[in-house]
Structure 1
Amino acid sequence: MTQLRTVQVLGGGSAGSSAHVRSLASGLVARGVRVTVCAPAELDHAYDFRGAGAHFVPVPRLGGPATLAMLRNAFIGADVVHAHGLHASVRATLALAGGVRAPALVTTWHTRGHADGARGGLVRLLERRSVRAAAVVLGTSSELVDRARRRGARDARLAPVSVPASRAPVCLHDGKARAELGAVDRPLLMAVGALVPERGYGMLLDAARVWRDLDPQPLLVIAGEGRERAALQRRIEEEGLAVRLIGRRDDVAELLAAADVAVLTSRWESRSLLAQEALRLGVPLVATAVGGVPELVGDAAELVPWGDAEALAAAVRGLLEDVDRRMDLAAAGRVQARTWPTEDETIAHVLSVYDELVGR
């Protein structure tokens, strides 16, 4: 029997899509599939695709003829090319164009772009081109599946996607972590994600200004880096907010497990890593009711409208003042997490799609 050969393509590589590809690579290799991962070199350093048994081809973040040539070479002999995200999908589509024996193209949409005006029109154009070139488009939420169909996808399906839980042992309300963050005798709130406008940290700081009359005043810790760091830090200092920006961390699960409440304020999310980790750990979550978040968390989190700092502050305040509600959400979160697909189910589903396409 001929060995199935796949190429996984990442563009910018968000944390969710990169972790998903790492999990896929490991699971597919274990099932006898030959896997090549094409991605920026720094992603292999962070996610160790080679350690998963995959062949790795470093591809620059910036496109161009040389990048497309590298992808074309990597695609030679492949049965399936699987692109993750719009950036990767457009590159894969261009690299496959005109091929005599082109492999089947599968695209997974992990998130969606946010752009207005001319840039928004360009995003829609690229979405249309990439989904129409794909044999199958997998969406990580129902909303993304509907969006792909509106853009002209021939075959768009909801994909079970599991991002591996942290393997590190964690301890809820760990005293060492709280001491390091400066929250020994005060509530600890935790947010995680890149410091970019789409994460809604401006709204989060608005809420922090509202709840600072609490005694003791909670400490909000934000883990992540990005272009908004300087502006956020300046505002924190000018307004005297009890907020710490701690940059990128490798121990996010441990820090999150020490928190009293996790906060997710994104403008849009599909399967938020923070939401998944919080519910798995039994950390009460307050999140914006956007994208795939309600579908992901069910009744196991407090949901608030995007952009409503008052509602966000009220939800956080309510949880901090109600221990029973926090305990109920913690229990509900663990129950909800058990309804999500496992890594094995995710890998089996993707492999079934590959087999179907190769069989065609």
Structure 2
Amino acid sequence: MTKKKSESIKILMVTRETLSDRRYGLGRSLMPIVEELRQRGISADYICQIDLGQRATHWQIRLQHILASFTRNGETSTDFPALLYGLLERFNMGRLAAKLAAKQGYTHVHCHDPLIAAGFRFFLRFHFGCRAIWGVTEHGFGCYAQAMHEDGVRLGRHVMHIMRIWERHTLLAASWVIAPTSSGITQIAHDLKISPLPKKWHPLVHARPILNQYDKREARHRLGWNTDMVYLLSVGRIAPVKQFPLLIEACAKLKIKKDFQLVILGDGNSDPLQKLAQQLGFAREIIFATTEDIGLYLYAADLYVSASASESFGLANLEALVAGTAAICTAVGGVPEVVGEGALLTEPTLNALVEAMQRMLTDKELREVIVQKGQTRAKAWPDIIQITDLYEAIYRQVAAS
């Protein structure tokens, strides 16, 4: 690729993540793409909420408080304060993206959220002469309004309908739409009543993660873990969609000879989960932690468990396969498409989860088979170079057309 060709596009990735979100969220999959694009001589940047100035953040919070004060009276089917907060933070990122696109000459703005895209599209009209091409990646399974609802932002029927119409118009106006699985793309089109599937919509998986590798004994030594205890690991921010209470209840029903320790890697308020574990008679408090080295925990754990109610992809699930950690995942969203036979799939119910965990902890042969299949699948997974090739092809195709 010549230098002249590489300089012909300039890409801005935009998310609504906070700094803590990036530890377990999109940053783990997007930053390697940005870095690979830069290696190719392509100008690429990635912004999130930490890039907002103090003034912009101040006005976002102030406006949210003002608007929320008009919606707190009476019971409604929609959680308007939470919805307004989500809309404002995403529109604020769209505003910043439009400003930077006009000021710094970005040719492509990649919005990792349709509401950010709607905000970008709105504010772009105030920057005359800016001709940035824009597109969207949907990171929820199915339409984004449904994903927000499942993630704890309660939406009533009428508000859900309006949000879906808004999302539909935004996606149809985008130059590209990406989802991390084929099933996810299909579900979005179904939810938004879009048929046939537009040619500019693409399933594009996250690249195979690169983890720091450890011997199990070494990893446990570094973490200060007991060599004789069974460690169960789950990963994800503390949010309703991750169903950590379900996981805790399932752990309380396990019948295994060795004592176990539940470890949850994720930001958020862990107090209610710790209290639930105490009520259910856990012998040990749950270990809650945050880390920049997820591989250390995966190599140290005996069993990785994801109890999510919905996942568009589930990057932590794929990381478990890469690490060779025996994995149990709920068969939701795009998870079966990602893990295949490399994890023991189960229904997202208490009895099913207990049965799956019991089987994996007591059947050594089953664990070994699952681990072998998982590692085989992980080794065949597309790497960052292959995935960046596909991103670059999309960017150049829309620019040419």
TM-score interval, smaller chain: 0.7 to 0.9
The answer to whether residue 251 in structure 2 is matched with residue 208 in structure 1 is: yes
Q: Is the 8 A contact 1:172 1:258 kept in 2?
A: yes
Percent of aligned pairs sharing the same letter: 22
Q: Is the 8 A contact 1:105 1:136 kept in 2?
A: yes
> In 2, Cα distance between the equivalents of 1:287 and 1:64?
30
The answer to whether residue 111 in structure 2 is matched with residue 83 in structure 1 is: yes
Match of 1:82, as an amino acid?
H
Once the two structures are superposed, residues 223-273 of structure 1 have per-residue CA deviations (whole angstroms, 9 ceiling, x without a partner) of 21213x121111112222245132322332111111111000111112212
Q: Is the 8 A contact 2:56 2:92 kept in 1?
A: no
Which residue is equivalent to 1:107?
136
Once the two structures are superposed, residues 98-117 of structure 1 have per-residue CA deviations (whole angstroms, 9 ceiling, x without a partner) of 75553211211122414142
- Structure 1: unaligned runs, 5 residues or longer: 44-55
Q: Is the 8 A contact 2:92 2:119 kept in 1?
A: no
Which residue is equivalent to 1:330?
371
* Residue 117 of structure 1, aligned match among 152, 156, 159: 156
What is the correspondence of 1:277-292 to structure 2 with a 5 Å cutoff? 277-292=319-334
Q: Is the 8 A contact 1:282 1:330 kept in 2?
A: yes
Task: Give the SS at the match of 2:12.
Answer: strand
Q: Is the 8 A contact 1:3 1:32 kept in 2?
A: no
> In 2, Cα distance between the equivalents of 1:147 and 1:250?
32
Q: Normalized against structure 1, the TM-score is what? A: 0.86
Deviation at 1:165, TM superposition (A): 1.6
Which residue is equivalent to 1:254?
296
CA 1:10–1:298: 2 relative to 1, 3 Å: same
Task: Give the SS at the match of 1:263.
Answer: strand
* Residue 120 of structure 2, aligned match among 92, 100, 104: 92
Which residue is equivalent to 1:74?
100
Match of 1:73, as an amino acid?
K
Deviation at 1:173, TM superposition (A): 4.8
Which residue is equivalent to 1:345?
386
> In 1, Cα distance between the equivalents of 2:329 and 2:96?
41
> In 2, Cα distance between the equivalents of 1:287 and 1:243?
23
Q: Which moved more, 1:140-149 or 1:115-124?
A: 115-124
- Structure 2: unaligned runs, 5 residues or longer: 61-87, 142-146, 150-154
Q: Normalized against structure 2, the TM-score is what? A: 0.78
Which residue is equivalent to 2:80?
none
What is the correspondence of 1:59-208 to structure 2 with a 5 Å cutoff? 60=57, 62-63=88-89, 69-76=95-102, 77-97=105-125, 100-112=129-141, 113-115=147-149, 116-118=155-157, 119-150=159-190, 151=192, 152=194, 154=198, 155-162=200-207, 164-166=209-211, 168-174=212-218, 176-177=220-221, 180-181=224-225, 183-208=226-251
Deviation at 1:216, TM superposition (A): 1.6
> In 1, Cα distance between the equivalents of 2:336 and 2:112?
23
Q: Which moved more, 1:121-130 or 1:265-274?
A: 121-130
Alignment size in residue pairs = 342
CA 1:59–1:35: 2 relative to 1, 3 Å: farther
* Residue 316 of structure 2, aligned match among 258, 265, 274: 274
> In 1, Cα distance between the equivalents of 2:112 and 2:264?
27
> In 2, Cα distance between the equivalents of 1:68 and 1:323?
50
> In 2, Cα distance between the equivalents of 1:65 and 1:158?
25
Once the two structures are superposed, residues 267-286 of structure 1 have per-residue CA deviations (whole angstroms, 9 ceiling, x without a partner) of 11122122111101111101
Deviation at 1:81, TM superposition (A): 1.0
The answer to whether residue 45 in structure 2 is matched with residue 5 in structure 1 is: no
Q: Which moved more, 1:265-274 or 1:78-87?
A: 78-87
Task: Give the SS at the match of 2:358.
Answer: helix
> In 1, Cα distance between the equivalents of 2:40 and 2:392?
9
